[in-house]
Chains A and B, each alone.
Chain A
Amino acid sequence: MADEAPEYEYDLWLYIAGQTPKSLLAIANLRRICDQYLHNRYRVRVIDLHHEPERAISDNILAIPTLVRKLPPPIRKIVGDLSNTERVLVGLDLTPRRHTGS
């Protein structure tokens, strides 16, 4: 990966395919969750497969939207519009019990 340690703890990639309601909803939900639980410790990257279709193959994406937690390891995947905050936190291993905000 990068030579220097990144200044963020969480690297989150969100795959969408065009500005569909599901995609927009997922983006909004992710921003809200990050703001609330990760403050400045994260980076979110939105990848639109309509612009970068090859990424569907290289990153092995089938469902849209898919959220991939690249950092910290291990890699975790969540598919769906992220409309249930509680389950997103579980999926990202971000349960308040273990990861209290700093």
Chain B
Amino acid sequence: MELPAAITNLPKAPTGIRGLDDITGGGLPRGRPTLICGGPGCGKTLLAFETLARGAALYGEPGLFVSFEESPADLRMNVANLAIDVADLEQRGLLLLEQISLDQGEVAEVGEYDLEGLFIRLGLLIDRIGAQRIVLDTIETLFSAFGNQSILRGELQRLFRWLRQRGLTAIITAERSGQGLSRFGIEEFVADCVILLDYRITEHVLTRYARIVKYRGSPHGVNEYPFTIGPHGITMLPITSFTLRYPVSAERISSGFPDLDQLLDGGGYYRGSTILVSGPTGSGKTSLGASFVAAACARGEPAIFFAFEESADQIVRNLRSIGLDLQQWRDRGLLQIISSRPSLAGLETHLITLLEAVEQSGARVVVIDPITGFHTISRPVDITTMLFRLFDGLKSLGVTTLATSLTNAGADPAQSEVNISSLVDTWIVLRNHETNGERNRSLLVLKSRGMRHSNQVRELVMDAQGLRLVEIYAAGETVLVGAARIAEQERLRHEQELHEREAIQRQRRYALQQRLLALQIEALQAELAALDDEMNAEADLSEARARAQIQSRLATSRYRESTQEGSDGR
């Protein structure tokens, strides 16, 4: 559910708390009071404090925290592990923590009075830092310090008017008890925004919830939204406020398995994406997950492997068999293998543990092996909800998550994970093939958003050298794997060899013919030359003959002339 701030013209003050700004459509009503109510230990003070501190740190809005219970020192201690530098904000005049202590029981009340002293004090403190946000925690304490309820109600009403007039984004926390939202019906005065915090314990597991009871002039999420209080404060992962506004990365990271990277458009997974590897027992899910974390560690990125089936040492040992040394990354502090039984804790606790561990370690790559382990402790619908929130949370942290899912041998993996498939960016399906008395594995990239990926089934081969993908051979309708594939490969190799030998022979024959022809050409040319010689000799001979004829003719005529002269002279 997306609530764009544009559809409401009500100005909002963002809380900076993940999830809360989503379900409120941008934050609390700016310049107006908001009531946060709930029983003891619901997280009211923390929610109020975080809104104030994040407002100061992220949006530069100075905040005043007025506590009627805790001293500033106690408060500082309680929020010490939030990722907020409270001391720095205080020094920069962006945050002011103030305790207004109430002398309980020692004060006698005689006649009419008002709380002008409180107003004067608040006014002074507000002016001291130019506060734009203010927290009053908790307002009920005032009721316990003064006896005259009608005076107090009147004064509180005046206080809310006064806060509004000063344009303060105010958070008033109130104890909840019984049927009403707050013990003294304060919600009547704060009409703008009321948020109810609650927690319930089911099966020894505590789950916190927040609900927006009312938000005047603004659409808002109406459900109960689970939230957690972790080391970094409040995290709300509202499944229905799935806004799909993650920072999208075009960066590709290796799956740790070069052949698989090749199938994924040559580049591997997208950073920040969610990958599901589903398959039956022993199909190579854990190996794929382990390869992925190992690749992350090799890049120098911290990674966490959550193991819900095996112990950490068992995983390290088993993966040595495919040539993967995870221990080196554990030794260098890059890899954490967190092993626990799903039945050890409730879903919500698992969710918190996972997210906390990821946030604390700054892990960039997370493997959860397998997510189906939760089926033993919870209903499928709850698991789906939890996974939505988990993947959502990890995605918003920019973490790339690979989750494995155990499918039943008979079931079609493409069908069995329908409920979470929309969450998954890349889905790899592993299958076992039992033929010819042996079992082999195959791998298919069922989908991978945003990239051209191979649609071919490959055989997954695992040995001491690691993981390999082998092109699969299809004989008619059946896919050939293992020995059948090798037999087919052998047959094809023979065929190929035969082809090659024939080709070589043909080549030789051609060469021979070529040489033969060349020789023939040579002989003919010699013949031609001989013919030429003969012809030349013939020509010389006839010339000589002609010349001789001329000579003889000349001699004849000369003889005849001489005889002619002798007869004439007598």
Which A residues are closer than 8 A to B by beta carbons?
15, 17, 22, 25-26, 29, 49-50, 53-54, 56-57, 60-66, 76-84, 87-88, 90-91
Rounded to whole angstroms, the CA-CA distance of A57 and B118 in the bound complex is 9
Q: Is the CB of B120 within 8 A of A17?
A: yes
Report B-chain residues with C-beta under 8 Å of the C-beta of A62. 100, 102, 115, 117-118, 121, 145
What's the nearest-Cβ distance from chain A to residue B109, in Å? Answer: 5
Q: Is the CB of B121 within 8 A of A56?
A: yes
Q: Is the CB of A63 within 8 A of B115?
A: yes
- With both beta carbons as reference points, the residue of chain A lying nearest to B102 in the complex is identified as A62
Asked if B83 is at the interface of the complex by the 8 Å CB criterion, the answer is no
What's the nearest-Cβ distance from chain B to residue A71, in Å? Answer: 17
Interface size counted on chain B using CB atoms at 8 A: 24
What does DSSP make chain A's interface, helix, strand, loop or mixed?
mixed
Q: Is the CB of A64 within 8 A of B113?
A: yes
The one of A22, A56, A84 that contacts B117, using a Cβ cutoff of 8 Å: A56
Rounded to whole angstroms, the CA-CA distance of A33 and B124 in the bound complex is 33
Which B residues are closer than 8 A to A by beta carbons?
100-103, 106-118, 120-121, 123-125, 145-146
Report B-chain residues with C-beta under 8 Å of the C-beta of A25. 111-112
The one of B113, B120, B124, B125 that contacts A79, using a Cβ cutoff of 8 Å: B113
- With both beta carbons as reference points, the residue of chain A lying nearest to B106 in the complex is identified as A77
25 pairs, A vs B, C-beta closer than 8 Å: A15-B117, A17-B116, A29-B111, A50-B120, A53-B120, A53-B124, A57-B121, A57-B124, A60-B101, A61-B121, A62-B100, A62-B115, A62-B118, A62-B145, A63-B107, A64-B114, A77-B107, A77-B108, A78-B108, A79-B110, A80-B110, A81-B112, A87-B108, A88-B110, A91-B110
Report A-chain residues with C-beta under 8 Å of the C-beta of B103. 60, 77
Q: A22-B112, A63-B114, A80-B110 are in contact. List 8 more A-B contacts (CB 8 A).
A: A50-B120, A56-B121, A62-B115, A62-B121, A63-B113, A76-B108, A77-B108, A91-B110
Report B-chain residues with C-beta under 8 Å of the C-beta of A63. 107, 113-118, 146
Rounded to whole angstroms, the CA-CA distance of A14 and B102 in the bound complex is 18
What's the nearest-Cβ distance from chain A to residue B142, in Å? Answer: 8
- With both beta carbons as reference points, the residue of chain B lying nearest to A52 in the complex is identified as B120
What's the nearest-Cβ distance from chain B to residue A70, in Å? Answer: 14
**A to B contact number (C-beta, < 8 Å):** 94
Report A-chain residues with C-beta under 8 Å of the C-beta of B111. 25-26, 29, 80-84
The one of B108, B113, B115 that contacts A81, using a Cβ cutoff of 8 Å: B113
Q: Is the CB of B116 within 8 A of A64?
A: yes
Q: Is the CB of B116 within 8 A of A84?
A: no
Rounded to whole angstroms, the CA-CA distance of A44 and B118 in the bound complex is 23
What's the nearest-Cβ distance from chain A to residue B124, in Å? Answer: 6
Q: Is the CB of B123 within 8 A of A79?
A: no
Q: Is the CB of B116 within 8 A of A49?
A: yes
Report A-chain residues with C-beta under 8 Å of the C-beta of B120. 17, 49-50, 53, 56
Q: Is the CB of B110 within 8 A of A49?
A: no
What's the nearest-Cβ distance from chain A to residue B138, in Å? Answer: 15
The one of B102, B117, B124 that contacts A66, using a Cβ cutoff of 8 Å: B117
What's the nearest-Cβ distance from chain B to residue A36, in Å? Answer: 16
What's the nearest-Cβ distance from chain B to residue A65, in Å? Answer: 6
- Contact flag A90-B108 (CB < 8 Å), given A60-B101, A62-B102: yes
Rounded to whole angstroms, the CA-CA distance of A90 and B109 in the bound complex is 11
Q: Is the CB of B124 within 8 A of A56?
A: yes
The one of A15, A64, A91 that contacts B115, using a Cβ cutoff of 8 Å: A64
- With both beta carbons as reference points, the residue of chain B lying nearest to A15 in the complex is identified as B117
The one of A61, A76, A80, A83 that contacts B106, using a Cβ cutoff of 8 Å: A76
- With both beta carbons as reference points, the residue of chain B lying nearest to A66 in the complex is identified as B117
Rounded to whole angstroms, the CA-CA distance of A29 and B124 in the bound complex is 30
Rounded to whole angstroms, the CA-CA distance of A22 and B60 in the bound complex is 41
Q: Is the CB of A22 within 8 A of B113?
A: yes
What's the nearest-Cβ distance from chain A to residue B55, in Å? Answer: 24
